[in-house]
């Protein structure tokens, strides 16, 4: 899912499908937010320190013209991504799969 595209923004950002083969690849913390041609961050990295992630982007863009408003815009896209991840991964069946609730709790919530 795209959050922004060039033409209407200096950022091209999207939820990048995590393409690994292990069972852990469907976990919330490993979902990827891609800032095209700049850097990818996991949901966990953003959740733990979104401002630190913005600082990493600033370091990468050192010397390029990016305004404070454009960084604020990027943070908004990151927050939208995290909200979507939380909606996607906080279903009872996913919480059970992640080992955060019991099968009984998942069943009760689904019914």
pLDDT tens readout for residues 12-28 = 999 987 655 444 556 88
Residue ranges of the domains in the chain? 2-110
* Spatial distance between the Cα atoms of 40 and 69, rounded to a whole number of angstroms: 21
> What's the DSSP call for residue 58?
H
Question: How confident is the model over 57-105, as pLDDT tens digits?
Answer: 999 988 788 999 999 999 999 999 999 998 888 777 777 777 777 877 7
For tokens 């305004």, what's the residue?
67
In the sheet that holds 39-42, the strands lie side by side as 2-4, 13-16, 32-35, 39-42
Give the pTM: 0.78
């Amino acid at each position: 899912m795209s959050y922004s595209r060039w033409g209407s923004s200096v950022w091209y950002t999207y939820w990048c499908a995590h393409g690994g083969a292990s069972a852990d690849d469907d976990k919330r913390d490993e979902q990827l937010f891609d800032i095209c041609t700049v850097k990818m961050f996991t949901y966990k990295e953003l959740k733990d320190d979104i401002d630190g992630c913005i600082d990493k982007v600033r370091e990468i863009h050192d010397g390029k013209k990016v305004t404070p408003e454009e960084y604020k815009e990027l943070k908004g896209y990151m927050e939208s991504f995290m909200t979507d991840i939380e909606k996607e991964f906080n279903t009872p069946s996913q919480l059970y799969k992640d080992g955060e609730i019991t099968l009984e709790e998942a069943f009760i919530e689904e019914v």
